């Protein structure tokens, strides 16, 4: 396949929709950042160029080779997630970034893509004829799993023990307590590792070392303890969409949702005290506490509502230009757009996003391979949930969590994530009916 063939295979409609949304994003950013950081749109454009390059390179890697690269990529992302907890810099109470010279890398963003792809791969390897049941979903049900889970739990408690008021356990002996917790957690994880390896090498038919659930659970926990509620939530929602696309039996689905709901509801209403609840909320979502979430949500709703039918005009949004709108280059870009372009602008953006989703689903429908279906669905879910949570937040129907609006918010890490996703999709389309040896 030569370069011309390659570009001919890059899906045209998808590219068009993405470009339109990106165009809107840069134009909007130019207005949002005009007062405080006027060069921001240019930086964003640079990120877009880099992103396009990354996506095209990813697309050009032969499909089978890319699949074999997914596991190393995933492990790499997990390592970075572990690393950020130790070496990460702390900003406003959360460790989310690794400083690399002038840049700040947010490993959780990379982990989202890596996990999405890994889950797609793992799910596509096992097909259940009538959809997953609870037992098949959590298979292999192995004695080591409880060990892993309790190890993870203890590690979690160790990092954030103060939230749960464990003073009574430890008295004044800080060191002793830290030692016990860290040691116990490490031991359990090691035992799990050993047991799994023994099992893996001990049996004739090699079972998968980790199932899709664990594959998603590990980064989920690591991101949650940073803490970063928004990103970990995104991860879960994306993986859930992938599992749903594979099919899950209705009864199992109902059991799963029902039991989760009941346990969480009972714990929340009957067991936890108010101060514990507020601590958990503050812990999971420190931005809410530091900025005064109510104020931000209110200013955002004022910005959107005051836009009216046709908006206040480009560069004339008072909420934006007079800095009443917080974080207007990142989390609240939608409010800027809605204020300056009104309901008309909002409709245009919604239609473009829906067309993008519809395009991804069309690709999934025509795919010949489960892996391709799951990649398309996962990427669609990524766009969809980011958009829904972000827009729901700025319109005051969902709580304030730090989730960006895909393709519109400023930020290198999130831009890279999206282009990596698009690269995965392009890859599936380019190589859908091409054998590996026809590579460029």
Partner 1 sequence: MNLDNQKRSVVTSQLNLLLAFAGLVLLLLLMRAFYLQMFRGEHYLALSRDNFIQTIPTAHSRGRIFDRFGTLLVTNRPSHDIFLTRAFLPDSERSIAKLGRVLGMSKRRQSELDAALLESLEGQEVRKLSFAHENPFGCEALDQFLREDELAGVTLRNRAVMASGCVVTIDNQVFPSRAAVRQRLQDALDYDPRKFQAAWDRAWRRSRRGQYQPFRIVSDVDEGAANQVRLEISRGLLPGIQMNDSMRRRYPFGDRASHVLGFMNEVSSRDLRQNAYKHYHLGDRVGRRGVERVFENYLRGEDGKRFYIVDAKGREHGAFHHHLEELGLEPIESRGGHDIRLTIDEELQEWTEGAFLGAAGSVVVIDVNNGEVLALASFPHYDLNELAGRGSGSAWLKLSRDALKPLRNKAVQEHYAPGSTFKAFTGVAGLVHGQIRSSSVKTCYGNFFIGRQRWRCYNRGGHGPLSLPTALKVSCDSYFYNLGVNLGLDRLASTAQHFGFGRKSGIALDGEVPGLIPTREYYASKGGGYRRGYVVNASIGQGDVIATPLQLANAYAALVNGGDLFRPRIVHEVRDATGLVTQSFIPEVIDHLDIKESDLEEIRRSLSYVTRAGGTAYSLRDVEKYGDLARWVRKSGVVIGGKTGTAQVVSLSKNIDHLDPEAVEYHKRDHAWFVGFAPIQEPEIVVVAMTEHGGFGGSASAPVVANVIRKWHELKVERGGAE
Distance CA 85, CA 95 (A): 6
Question: Under the criterion CB under 8 A, does residue 250 sit at the interface with partner 1?
Answer: no
Site for partner 1 in 118-137 (CB under 8 A): 124-125, 127, 129, 131
Pick the binder of partner 1 from 23, 38, 72, 93 (CB under 8 A). Answer: 93
- Which value, in Å, is the radius of gyration of the alpha carbons in the chain? 23
Question: Cα torsion for 324, 328, 331, 332, to the nearest 10°?
Answer: 60
Q: Applying CB under 8 A, does 1 fall inside the site for partner 1?
A: no
Q: If you count them, how many residues does the chain have?
A: 440
Residue 92 interacting with partner 1 (CB under 8 A): yes
Cβ atoms of 406 and 48 within 8 Å: the answer is no
Closer by beta carbon to partner 1, 114 or else 372: 372
Residue 252 touching partner 1 (CB under 8 A): no
Angle at 169 between CA 164 and CA 171, to 5 degrees: 110
* Nearer to partner 1 among residue 66 and residue 77 (C-beta): 66
Decide if residue 369 touches partner 1 (CB under 8 A).
yes
One of 338, 375, 401, 424 touching partner 1 (CB under 8 A):
338
Stretch that binds partner 1, among 51-59, 360-368, 418-426, 427-435 (CB under 8 A): 360-368
Residue 9: is it exposed, middle or buried by C-beta count within 10 angstroms (0-12/13-18/19+)? middle
Rounded to whole angstroms, the Cα distance separating 56 from 15 reads 11
> Would strands 89-91 and 103-105 be described as parallel, antiparallel, or unpaired?
unpaired
Considering only residues 136, 195, 361, 399, which one is a binding residue for partner 1 as defined by CB under 8 A?
Answer: 361
**Backbone phi and psi for residue 439, each to the nearest 5 degrees, phi listed first:** -60, 165
| Closer Cβ to partner 1, 370 or 439, answer by number | 370
268 or 350: CB nearest partner 1: 350
Residue from 241, 288, 421, 424 binding partner 1 (CB under 8 A): 241
Token digits of residue 198: 């023994």
E runs forming strands in 86-164: 89-91, 94-100, 103-105
Find the binding residues for partner 1 in span 265-324 (CB under 8 A): 290, 299, 301-309, 316, 318-319, 321-324
Phi, psi angle pair for 104, to nearest 5°: -120, 125
- Compose the 382-411 pattern: x for residues touching partner 1 by CB under 8 A, - for all others: --x---x--xx--x-x--------------
89 is a contact residue toward partner 1 (CB under 8 A): yes
Nearer Cβ to partner 1 (5/165): 165
d(C-alpha 51, C-alpha 415), whole Å: 7
Say whether 227 sits in a helix, a strand or coil: coil
What residues make contact with partner 1 under the rule CB under 8 A?
Answer: 89-93, 124-125, 127, 129, 131, 162, 165, 167, 241, 244-247, 290, 299, 301-309, 316, 318-319, 321-324, 338, 342-343, 346-347, 350, 353-354, 357-358, 361, 364-365, 367-371, 373, 377, 380, 384, 388, 391-392, 395, 397
């Amino acid at each position: 396949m030569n370069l011309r063939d390659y570009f001919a295979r890059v899906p045209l409609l998808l590219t068009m929709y993405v470009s339109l949304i990106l165009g809107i994003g840069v134009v909007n950013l130019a207005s949002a950042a005009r007062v405080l950081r006027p060069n921001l749109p240019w930086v964003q454009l640079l990120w877009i160029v880099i992103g396009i390059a990354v996506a095209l390179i990813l697309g050009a890697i032969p499909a089978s080779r890319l699949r074999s690269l997914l596991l190393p990529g995933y492990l790499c992302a997990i390592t970075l997630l572990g690393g950020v907890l130790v070496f990460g810099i702390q900003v406003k109470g959360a460790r989310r970034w690794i400083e690399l010279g002038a840049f700040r890398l947010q490993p959780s963003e990379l982990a989202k893509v890596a996990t999405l792809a890994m889950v797609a791969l793992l799910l596509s390897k096992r097909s259940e004829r009538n959809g997953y049941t609870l037992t098949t979903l959590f298979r292999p049900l192995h004695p080591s799993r409880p060990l892993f889970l309790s190890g993870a739990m203890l590690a979690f408690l160790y990092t954030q023990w103060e939230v749960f008021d464990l003073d009574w356990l430890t008295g004044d002996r800080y060191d002793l307590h830290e030692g016990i917790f860290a040691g116990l957690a490490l031991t359990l994880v090691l035992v799990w590792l050993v047991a799994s390896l023994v099992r893996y090498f001990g049996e004739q038919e090699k079972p998968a070392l980790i199932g899709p659930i664990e594959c998603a659970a590990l980064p989920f926990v690591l991101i949650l303890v940073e803490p970063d509620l928004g990103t970990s939530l995104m991860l879960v929602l994306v993986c859930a969409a992938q599992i749903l696309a594979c099919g899950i039996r209705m009864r199992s689905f109902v059991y799963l949702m029902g039991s989760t709901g009941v346990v969480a509801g009972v714990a929340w209403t009957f067991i936890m005290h108010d101060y514990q609840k507020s601590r958990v909320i503050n812990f999971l979502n420190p931005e809410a506490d530091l900025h005064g979430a109510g104020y931000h949500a209110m200013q955002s709703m004022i910005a959107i509502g005051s836009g009216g039918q046709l908006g206040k005009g480009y560069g004339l949004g008072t909420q934006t230009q007079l800095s009443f709108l917080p974080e207007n280059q990142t989390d609240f870009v939608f409010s800027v757009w809605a204020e300056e372009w009104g309901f008309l602008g909002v409709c245009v953006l919604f239609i473009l996003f829906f067309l993008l989703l519809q395009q991804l689903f069309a690709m999934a429908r025509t795919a010949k391979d489960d892996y391709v279906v799951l990649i398309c669905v996962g990427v669609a879910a990524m766009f969809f949930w980011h958009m829904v949570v972000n827009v729901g937040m700025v319109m005051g129907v969902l709580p304030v969590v730090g989730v960006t609006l895909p393709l519109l918010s400023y930020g290198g890490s999130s831009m890279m994530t999206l282009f990596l996703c698009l690269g995965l999709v392009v890859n599936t389309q380019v190589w859908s009916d091409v054998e590996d040896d026809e590579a460029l």
